[in-house]
Amino acid sequence: MSILVPATPVAVSVTVLDSPFFGLQPLTRAEFAALRELPAAERRLQIPNFVDCFQWEAIRPLLPLKLPTPGDPPPWRERWCRSHYRWLPSDDLHSSANPSASSGEALVGLDAFDLTLRLFDFTPWRPYFARRLKSQFGPPPFDPLSLGLTFFLAVHRQWDWARLLSELRSKERGRGYCQRLGFDLDDLPGESTLRTALSNTQLEWLADCQTSLVQGLMAYGLIPTQSTFPGDPPERGVSLSTDCQLVQSRSHQNCRHQTPACSLPGLPRPCPAHQKGKDGCACDTDACRGHCRFATPRDPDAAYVYYSGSNRPGPNPNAPQTQGPNQETVARSNGKHHYGYKSKAFNIVDDRLFLFWPLTGPCTPANVNDHLLTLPGLKALRLRFPTLKIGELLGDAGEGYDQVLRYVHHDLHALRTIRLLRLDGDDQPLTCLKRGYDHNGNPLCPLAYRLYPNGHDYERGTTKWVCHQKCLHQSDPDIALPQAETLPHQPSAIPPRQACQFTDPDHPLGYSLTTGLTLPDGCIRLARDLQVGSQAWKLRIGRQSYAESRNAIQQQRGVKRSPWFGLQNTAKAMLISDTLSLAFNLARLISEASQQSIRAP
Domain positions in the chain are 3-229+563-599, 434-524
Give, as one character, the DSSP assignment of residue 587.
Answer: H
Q: What CA–CA distance (Å, rounded) separates 103 from 94?
A: 9
The CA radius of gyration of the chain, in Å to the nearest whole number, is 29
Question: What are phi and psi for residue 582, nearest 5 degrees?
Answer: -60, -50
518-to-63, 316, 397, 565 alpha-carbon distances in Å: 51, 27, 17, 45
Is residue 391's pLDDT more than 70?
yes
Query: DSSP label at 451?
Result: P
Q: How far apart are CA 97 and CA 68, in angstroms?
A: 32
Closest CA to 125 of 67, 72, 183, 77: 67
Rounded distance between C-alpha atoms, residue 46 and residue 71, angstroms: 39
Question: Side chain identity at 511, as an amino acid letter?
Answer: Y
Burial (CB < 10 A; 0-12, 13-18, 19+), residue 334, is exposed
DSSP string of 159-225? --HHHHHHHHH-TTTHHHHHHHHT-BTTBPPPHHHHHHHHHTS-HHHHHHHHHHHHHHHHHTTSS-S
Give the pLDDT confidence of 516-534 residue by residue, as tens digits.
Answer: 999 999 999 999 999 999 9
Q: What is the pLDDT of residues 489-526, one digit of tens each?
A: 444 556 666 778 888 888 889 999 999 999 999 999 99
* pLDDT digits 0-9 by tens, 258-298: 999 999 998 889 999 999 999 999 998 999 999 999 999 99
Query: Coil, strand or helix: which one is 462?
Result: strand
Among 230, 318, 548, CA closest to 419: 548
Nearest Cα neighbor of 146 from 102, 183, 194 is 183
Model pLDDT, residue 506: 85
In this structure, are residues 60 and 90 in contact, taking their beta carbons and an 8 Å threshold?
A: yes
Helix (H, G, I), strand (E, B) or coil at 293: coil
Q: Give the model's pLDDT for residue 336.
A: 87
Q: What is the pLDDT of residue 311?
A: 56
| CA–CA dist 534, 452 (Å, integer) | 10
* Length of the chain measured in residues: 601
- Where b means 16+ CB within 10 Å and e means fewer, 72-104 reads ebeebeebebbbbbebeebeebbbbbeeeeeee
Q: What is the pLDDT of residues 76-116, one digit of tens each?
A: 999 999 999 999 988 777 665 454 544 456 777 788 999 99
Chain-centroid distance of CA 513 in Å reads 36
Alpha helices in 120-160 (DSSP H): 126-129, 144-157
CA distance 514 to 466: 9
Q: How many other C-beta atoms can be found within 10 angstroms of the C-beta atom of residue 394?
A: 25
Sequence-ordered list of residues with C-beta below 8 angstroms from that of 63, at least 6 positions apart, any chain: 89, 90, 118, 119
Express each pLDDT in 181-204 by its tens digit.
999 999 999 999 999 999 999 999
